[in-house]
Amino acid sequence: MAEPSAHPARDRIAVRGLRAYGHHGVYASERRQGQSFSCDAVLEVDTRPAADTDDLQRTVNYAELSQRLYSVLAGEPVDLLETLAQRLADVCLAYELVDAVEITVHKPEADLGVPFDDVTVTIRRERRR
């Protein structure tokens, strides 16, 4: 018989395809002209307390979360997608109920000089207890 995990599997709340126009990138033209970015955020949250009580205060309000993520995506420019992903993860982890988050940042209009569909950076961060 398998031993119980020290970290039980968590439920997930996901916001996918959140889009904003931003000025992120290392090239001056990217900073000047801007381009479309999007992100996916998958939060690990124990949703049982909210489900048991039908109380929004016992879960993550994904409408509020989306507004905060949008502000980062459209906000202060950074050079690297890695930095942008970390800032988005920090927004998610600011919610006490979030145990971990996976963030994917999409930059479909990157200047690679060759045809492509998308460039992404994906990070996973856990709450430090």
Active site residues per annotation = 107
Task: Pull the structure tokens for residue 38.
Answer: 């999007």
What whole-number distance in Å separates Cα of residue 66 and Cα of residue 113?
A: 32
Nearest residue to 25 via CA among 85, 78, 93, 65: 78
Residue 35 burial by Cβ neighbours in a 10 Å radius (0-12, 13-18, 19+)? middle
* Cα 12 from Cα 47, distance rounded (Å): 8
DSSP 56: G
Cβ–Cβ under 8 Å, residues 129 and 99? no
